[in-house]
Chains A and B, each alone.
Chain A
Amino acid sequence: MNAPRTINEYLDQLRAALRGADPALVQDALYDAEEHLRAELAEQPSRGEADMLAHVVGSYGAPDEVAELYRDQEIRIQRALRPPSPPKRRSLAGRFFGVAADPRTYGALFYMVLALATGIFYFTWAVTGVSLSAGLSILIVGLPFIVLFFGSVRVLSLVEGRIVEAMLGARMPRRPPYPTRDLTLMKRIGSMFTDARTWTTLLYMLLMLPLGIVYFTIAVTLVSVSVAFIGAPVAWMVNGGDLSRLFVDHRVIVHWGFGEHVPGWGEVIGLCVLGVLLLFATLHLARGLGRMHGQVARHLLVRG
């Protein structure tokens, strides 16, 4: 590898050295390097870029050394921050009920409930911003407004990244993407619009409304149905074997395929068992959806 002569060359080499690493990690590493190198250059502007870089390779580290360092760090952090993965269970029952011991499950379930609120917010923000940007673009104030709006989209993408990482466990960037070229202000603004990531982030924000509604509905419906089923024996006991008083139309009936009838003691126990199974199935579903959503977020919010 040739010694880099400009900051952009250095960053390109660093990007190349990090090939295959997590895109979120690459984004963070490039941002850190850019911040450091630009500060170094600003400190002694008379020295020249090539000279400064020759020195920096010794102090900050050559691109491949830096890449190795970030990879190492990442492994150590992952070990330290990840909640311990629950012991692997072999038996079918162990695997089915073991989901309750996995912290990710509850993170995902909570995310599903929260997604309705964040989804509405993102959708409103994106739609309002895009329409106002389009409407104001014929006025002088249009350009600053558009730039502000797109800036806010980037910030929201970082915020959503933090939420996704905390609750779903997918590695997300901690630093915003930074255009790595020396550009004038106007060109930098232009690059905001040509950057595919800006548009995928907007797409994600639009997508979060339907996804949020679906996640919220699934989580709330399934959990409340299971809890109601599990509580059936309690309700039956409290009401002295008569469930009808709990309902408005005074008709509680079950239908197992052999005709409708008022439930008895055994059937209430059956409902309870069914509720427990449904609750654990719900937890599996939540964990699975959480994993899937983490992937969606990584594809739309992190520049590959």
Chain B
Amino acid sequence: MDERVSQLKKFQKELSAGTVSLVLLAVLGQSRQPLYGYQIAKRLEELGEGVLAGKQSALYPVLRNLEAAGLLASEVEPSVSGPPRRYYRITPPGREVLREWVAAWNATRESVDKVLQGEV
């Protein structure tokens, strides 16, 4: 039993590693105003466990990497509750990349679905 749980955990972790950048980019692509890490985490939480495999801490390093790659831009604003918050928004190159990634994701999903439905 334990074996199977850890197998599932590992699989979820690998899935999330591949999709989390796409999801974060999509969330920020759809949002009208800039969001900070906690807000993004809460939006994803509403969708249920899937994307981050339940661990919201995973999104902060990814946000940072997307910013370093120029797909996101950010600015810092002070907050009363704790450290200054970093608000992220998508950049024009980010939108381009998102479009390509969505196409790649659709292609992958279709082919995986076909395999799972036994059409091979």
Contact = CB atoms under 8 A, between A and B. Distances in A.
Interface in B27-81: 36-38, 41, 45, 54-58, 60-62, 64-65, 68, 79-81
Interface string A63-74: 001100110011
Interface of B: 17, 36-38, 41, 45, 54-58, 60-62, 64-65, 68, 79-83, 85-86
Interface in A40-94: 40-43, 58-61, 65-66, 69-70, 73-74, 76-77, 81
A237 B56 CA distance: 69
Given A31-B83, A40-B38, A69 B58 contact: yes
A41 B82 CA distance: 10
Contact of B57 (A38, A43, A69, A74): A69
A35 B61 contact: no
A60 to B, nearest CB: 5
The interface residues of chain A, by DSSP majority, are classed as: helix
Contacts of B80: 42
A66 to B, nearest CB: 4
A246 to B, nearest CB: 47
Q: Which 4 A-B pairs have the closest CB atoms?
A: A38-B82, A42-B81, A39-B38, A32-B60
A37 B81 CA distance: 10
A77 B57 contact: no
Given A39-B38, A40-B38, A59-B45, A34 B57 contact: no
Contacts of B85: 35, 39
A178 B85 CA distance: 12
Contacts of A69: 55, 57-58, 61
B55 A61 contact: yes
A36 B81 contact: no
B35 to A, nearest CB: 12
B54 A58 contact: yes
A73 to B, nearest CB: 4
Given A59-B41, A59-B54, A38 B61 contact: no
